[in-house]
Structure 1
Amino acid sequence: MLIIGLTGGIGSGKSAAADCFRALGIDVVDADWAARVVVQPGQPALAQIAQHFGAEVLLENGALDRARLRSLVFDNEAERKWLEGLLHPLIREEILRALEASKSAYAILESPLLIESGQYKLVDRICVVDLPEELQIERAGARDGSDAEQIRKIMAAQLPREKRLEKADDVLDNSGDLASLRTQVEVLHRQYLQLVEENY
């Protein structure tokens, strides 16, 4: 099966692009969903995280306090690497299970850290959702209320825009409106169906 990796920095519009593919009947596996599954209460990874960082990373109901954990790891590269070392293999297993269950003509793996995490090895092509960094900061701030400094920290932990574009087989320019993004997705969709017909 043809698997397309869909990625982009924070606020780039990955989710909007993924929704456009879903609207065309394509199964989308969301790496963020897989990342939430592996740290649900009762999962071994959550117990290891609480043991490592302390009970302060748990909410009163026993669930992971993602905002608290994020603030701890984004300011500390060693802690971020420890967390990634624990979670990335588990997330990969969850993603593979979901991709294998896909029934559409091709499948999309939507992942903000597709390249950084090594998840790009699971895909046949990389599609990058791109826009200028200032617009990225503006949209990310409007979406989740984070301040520009926090967003810049997250961006600094992600692959730089130029490097991401170097890895891209396909690019969706999301500096315009949703209609423009949808049109570009429809063009790529036809190309992907053609690839499936020729190679799979």
Structure 2
Amino acid sequence: MKIIGLTGGTGSGKSTVAGMAKQLNVKVIDADVVARQVVNPGEQALIEIVSVFGSDILLDNGQLDRKKLGSIVFSDKEKLKLLNRITHKYIVNEIQREIQSEMKKGTYDYIMIDAAVLIESGLYNICDAIWVVSADKEERIRRIMNRDRLSYNEAINRINSQLDEKELKKHASAVINNDNDIDIESVRFQVMQLINQVE
């Protein structure tokens, strides 16, 4: 069983590529889904986050107010680093647990970790291949504004809070071009070719 790490900046189209991989019978573990699970009420990660950022970041029902926390950390790199130091270990542990579970089942030939923080969290170290989804910055800004209903400056803050694409590419075994002028079938063809090249 081979492990593919999929990463790319917000708005690059990473989720589109992950969806294509699913259609090719690849088991996809979405780090965003895991990140939401580890901050559910009662989870240790949420307890630690509240101890650092205060109870103001909670909704009335005890759930994490992701929008409020996002407005704090995406405009302050030090606070984002602090949040990542808390959450990454829990996310990594849960993803590793899911991988072990899938390996025991032996249902899939490939597991894909879909994670914007693949490099920062150290998850790339357990991958047999690392794919970086790339797209023009202005196109990414447009996608983020449409997807998340953010202002131009908020979208820029989200992009600037992540590792630069050049840094991601230093770790890449393959780069998938997903610019606006690339048609969807071309992206699908890239994905199909790359899966056959994973060793």
TM over 0.5: yes
- Give the aligned residue type for 1:178: I
| 1:1-200 to 2 correspondences below 5 Å | 1-102=1-102, 103-175=107-179, 176-192=182-198, 195=199
* TM-score after normalising by structure 1: 0.91
Whether contact under 8 Å (2:92, 2:121) holds in the other structure is no
Q: How many residues align?
A: 193
Give the drift of 1:23.
Answer: 0.6
**Which secondary structure state, in structure 2, belongs to the residue aligned with residue 101 of structure 1?**
helix
Q: Distance between the aligned counterparts of 2:175 and 2:83, measured in 1?
A: 30
TM-aligned CA deviation for residue 178 of structure 1 = 2.2
2:144 maps to a residue whose letter is A
Runs in 1 of length 4+ with deviation above 6 angstroms? none
Contact 1:116 1:158 in 2 (8 A): no
SS of the counterpart of 1:25? coil
Separation of aligned partners in 2, 1:162 and 1:49: 30
SS of the residue aligned with 2:116? Answer: coil
Which residue type is aligned with residue 86 of structure 2?
L
AA at the equivalent of 1:191: Q
Between 98-107 and 23-32, the greater mean CA deviation after superposition? 98-107
* CA-atom RMSD in angstroms: 1.3
1:10-59 per-position Cα deviation (integer Å, ceiling 9, x unaligned): 00011110000001111011111111111011112212212321221111
TM-score for the superposition, normalised by structure 2: 0.91
**Secondary structure at the residue paired with 2:96?**
helix
Once the two structures are superposed, what CA deviation does each residue of 1:120-148 show, in whole Å capped at 9, x if it has no partner? 11212110011111111111112121122
Aligned residues of 2:4 and 2:127 also touching (Cα < 8 A) = yes
**Secondary structure of the equivalent of 2:4?**
strand
Check the 8 A contact 2:18/2:28 in 1, yes or no: yes
**TM-aligned CA distance change 1:166 to 1:80, over 3 Å:** same
Identity level (%): 39
Paired residues of 1:6 and 1:128 also in contact (CA < 8 A): yes
Q: Which runs of 5+ in 2 are unaligned?
A: none
For residues 188 and 143 of structure 1, the distance between their equivalents in structure 2, rounded to whole angstroms, comes to 28
Q: Distance in 2 between matches of 1:182 and 1:3?
A: 19
The CA deviation at 1:169 is 0.5
Distance 1:165 1:82 in 2: 25
